[in-house]
């Protein structure tokens, strides 16, 4: 049976236990699931995950988050050479038999390309005032494009047709499924502090022969950004640290010409963390339909 490594990083996250438990309880074959969690907390109040097998839980007490690039890098290195890898955020809920369904979708894509990636905005969930989970579909079945009206390179969703799979040229950090070999080849950039890792991952992949797809169903749910409890405790706390220390807002981090991610997206940094050469960079920009250099 082919194994799946789930990697995630968190900061003061309240939903970790729920996420890990959901991954195993909803899997058709839970024995093939392995979880790598890089868990950062300012209060040292870590969840006890010892009752769940195949979980590698790295606990980090810190005064502020280390940055998304370094955190994802640390979580990725917890693998044990599983075949498949799923990158998620630490506030995710899974559908029943998600493991078999997502592997089936992925293997179907192998008839199109030998280097497929499934990545897009998933379905969403949030908690109501009583703490109960509410599911809603807004965000699913949508490809990602750059908002041309915004100078900060924000990604927005674009309604898809019913003809799946659909190739697009951006990725969503909270849902990336492919083979583990991909993450060995494209280790997360530890110098990306908060914003831009999704943009750069897509650029790096597409300029090296990978194809990114929207499938009919992601088989999992991501916590809505509208959830006030999440906003108060989770990644935005990390963001506020970078904003205070670098005087950059979310958009400026990736659009400012002087930042590392800004240079990567403009093709000024080539090589391992960017496009391999200017030819492949230009080819990617043409496919994306948006030129980072003109903004």
The number of residues making up the chain comes to 295
Q: Which residue matches tokens 């995950």?
A: 49
Please compute the mean of the pLDDT values over residues 103-122 and round it to a whole number.
Answer: 96
User: For position 106, what pLDDT does the model report?
Assistant: 97
Say if pTM beats, i.e. exceeds, 0.75. yes
User: For position 40, what pLDDT does the model report?
Assistant: 92
Q: 3-state DSSP call for residue 176?
A: strand
Please compute the mean of the pLDDT values over residues 270-276 and round it to a whole number.
Answer: 95
Query: DSSP label at 292?
Result: G
251 pLDDT exceeds 80?
A: no
Of the listed ranges 3-7, 116-120, 189-193, 285-289, the least confidently predicted one is 189-193
Q: How confident is the model at residue 236 (pLDDT cuts 50, 70, 90)?
A: very low
Is 85 within 8 Å of 179 (Cβ atoms)?
yes
How high is the mean pLDDT of the chain? 88
Is 289 within 8 Å of 145 (Cβ atoms)?
yes
Count the alpha carbons within 13 Å of 200 in the hemisphere toward its beta carbon.
32
Task: Give the H/E segment covering residue 145.
Answer: strand 142-146
117 pLDDT exceeds 90?
A: yes
Query: DSSP label at 215?
Result: -
Tally Cβ neighbours within 10 Å of residue 134.
Answer: 11
Please compute the mean of the pLDDT values over residues 5-30 and round it to a whole number.
Answer: 94
User: For position 242, what pLDDT does the model report?
Assistant: 55
User: For position 238, what pLDDT does the model report?
Assistant: 52
243 pLDDT exceeds 80?
A: no
User: For position 108, what pLDDT does the model report?
Assistant: 97
Integer Cα distance of 158 and 48 in angstroms? 40
Q: Render pLDDT for 59-102 as a digit per residue (tens, 0 to 9).
A: 999 887 778 888 999 999 999 999 999 999 999 999 999 999 99
Please compute the mean of the pLDDT values over residues 271-283 and round it to a whole number.
Answer: 96
Structural domains of the chain, with CATH: 4-294 (3.90.550.10)
Q: Which long-range contacts (CB under 8 A, 24 or more apart) does 146-151 make?
A: 146/170, 146/288, 146/289, 146/290, 148/290, 150/251, 151/251, 151/255, 151/295
Q: Render pLDDT for 37-65 as a digit per residue (tens, 0 to 9).
A: 999 998 999 999 999 999 999 999 988 77
Higher pLDDT, 200 or 62: 200
């Amino acid at each position: 049976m082919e194994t799946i490594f789930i990697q995630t990083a968190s900061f003061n996250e309240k939903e970790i236990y729920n996420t890990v438990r959901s991954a195993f309880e909803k899997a058709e074959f839970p024995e093939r699931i392995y979880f790598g969690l890089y868990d950062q907390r300012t209060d040292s109040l870590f969840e006890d995950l010892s009752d769940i097998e195949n979980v590698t839980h790295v606990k980090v007490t810190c005064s502020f988050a280390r940055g998304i690039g370094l955190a994802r890098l640390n979580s990725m290195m917890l693998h044990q050479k599983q075949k498949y890898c799923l990158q998620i955020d630490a506030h995710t809920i899974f559908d029943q038999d998600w493991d078999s369904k997502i592997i089936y979708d992925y293997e179907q894509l192998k008839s199109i390309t030998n280097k497929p990636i499934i990545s897009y905005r998933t379905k969403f969930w949030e908690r109501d005032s009583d703490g109960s989970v509410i599911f809603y579909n807004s965000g699913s079945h949508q490809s990602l494009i750059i908002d041309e009206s915004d100078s900060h390179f924000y990604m927005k969703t674009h309604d898809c047709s019913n003809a799946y799979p659909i190739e697009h040229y951006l990725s969503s950090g909270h849902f990336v499924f492919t083979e583990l070999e991909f993450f060995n080849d494209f280790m997360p950039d530890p110098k990306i502090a908060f914003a831009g890792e999704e943009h750069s991952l897509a650029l790096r992949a597409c300029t090296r022969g990978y194809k990114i797809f929207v499938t009919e169903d992601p088989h999992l749910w991501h916590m809505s950004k509208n959830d006030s409890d999440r906003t108060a405790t989770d990644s935005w706390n990390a963001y506020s640290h970078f904003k205070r220390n670098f005087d950059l807002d979310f958009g400026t981090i990736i659009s400012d010409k002087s930042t590392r991610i800004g240079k990567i997206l403009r093709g000024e940094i080539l090589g391992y963390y960017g496009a391999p050469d200017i030819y492949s960079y230009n080819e990617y920009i043409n496919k994306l339909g948006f030129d980072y250099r003109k903004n």
